[in-house]
Amino acid sequence: MRGFVFSDREDILAQVLTFFRQKMEVDGAVYADNVGISSDFGAKKLYLLQGTSFSDNVSEALLEIFEKEKYDFIFITSTALGREVAGIISDRMGKEIIAEIFDFNLVDSRVRTKRFAWGGKTVTEEESDCTLFTVMPGVVEATKAQEKSEVVQVKMKDSRVSLVQSIPKTSSTVDLEHANVIVSIGRGIGKKESIDLIMPLVKAVKGELAGSRPVCLDYQWLSEDRQVGLSGRKVKPKLYIALGISGQIQHIAGMRGSKAVIAINRDKAAPIFEEADYGIVGDLFQIVPALVNALQR
């Protein structure tokens, strides 16, 4: 079996190559200016795409590779550009696509994949003959392979799009990586309006507000740059306060470096308590105002 992984982000390429190299022989592709570490993660051949990249010329470059090389499976990482490229490739190759998978197994020559459904509340497991997928970032932590990749330079054609102006995102000003105190909210807060109840605590501890993946990505109660976890930010504050977060491994991967952890959860069996130095079992809507009161006194 041979697979191919494309990502415009080197860190995500490294994760996804780590995952698939255990299952099949893989080649990879990434932008040439991302060459720093990409050749360490187990792609047999690593294509470095040179030139200004937009979805049209990246797709053309990948389609040319697919004409020369035969792959059983194509995996494109689910970034903004990756999703556009995947759509173009699906159309041009006439292939169906399964989007946003986070697990992949071959069972009796069929493919079994998992992805989230219903806003992240359930997992759908599908069996298919599909050969084209987008893959969620953070599928596993990247680890180096023993062998380095053979590097192949690819000069991309010019895009039909030209860049007129580049405006940095205003939301990316949050510096979670250097915050001393982080108050992190999970699905347990129930609705966006509950953030008003959390903000007095954030102010009282002079912290930054962060969240789990459902909060930042699925429901967008917070901006995506506040997501902590395997596919979000890796933080190491002196104090991490987890409110209504269950503590799944993908979340823990982002906050494991915290010096002290306080967890508030109404489920005493929630895995977050295994990471916590101080755990409070109870309703956060009662505990948070009481904590703020105590801190203000």
Ligand X SMILES: Cc1cc2nc3c(=O)[nH]c(=O)nc-3n(C[C@H](O)[C@H](O)[C@H](O)COP(=O)(O)OP(=O)(O)OC[C@H]3O[C@@H](n4cnc5c(N)ncnc54)[C@H](O)[C@@H]3O)c2cc1C
Footprint on this chain of ligand X (rule: CB under 6 A): 102, 136, 138-139, 186-188, 212-215, 227-232, 244-246, 248, 250-251, 254, 264-267, 270, 283-285
* 181 vs 287, beta carbon nearer ligand X: 287
For the CB of residue 136, give the shortest distance to ligand X in the complex, in Å.
Answer: 4
For the CB of residue 162, give the shortest distance to ligand X in the complex, in Å.
Answer: 34
* 237 vs 254, beta carbon nearer ligand X: 254
* 49 vs 264, beta carbon nearer ligand X: 264
For the CB of residue 99, give the shortest distance to ligand X in the complex, in Å.
Answer: 13
For the CB of residue 75, give the shortest distance to ligand X in the complex, in Å.
Answer: 13
> To which residue do tokens 């395997």 refer?
230
For the CB of residue 185, give the shortest distance to ligand X in the complex, in Å.
Answer: 8
| Dihedral, 81, 86, 88, 91 alpha carbons, nearest 10 | -160
Burial class for 222, CB neighbours closer than 10 Å (0-12, 13-18, 19+): buried
For the CB of residue 45, give the shortest distance to ligand X in the complex, in Å.
Answer: 25
* 44 vs 114, beta carbon nearer ligand X: 114
Tokens of 15: 């994760």
Tokens of 122: 């359930």
For the CB of residue 92, give the shortest distance to ligand X in the complex, in Å.
Answer: 27
* 36 vs 119, beta carbon nearer ligand X: 119
CB 105 within 8 A of CB 79: no
* 33 vs 283, beta carbon nearer ligand X: 283
* Residue whose Cβ sits closest to ligand X: 229
* 63 vs 123, beta carbon nearer ligand X: 123
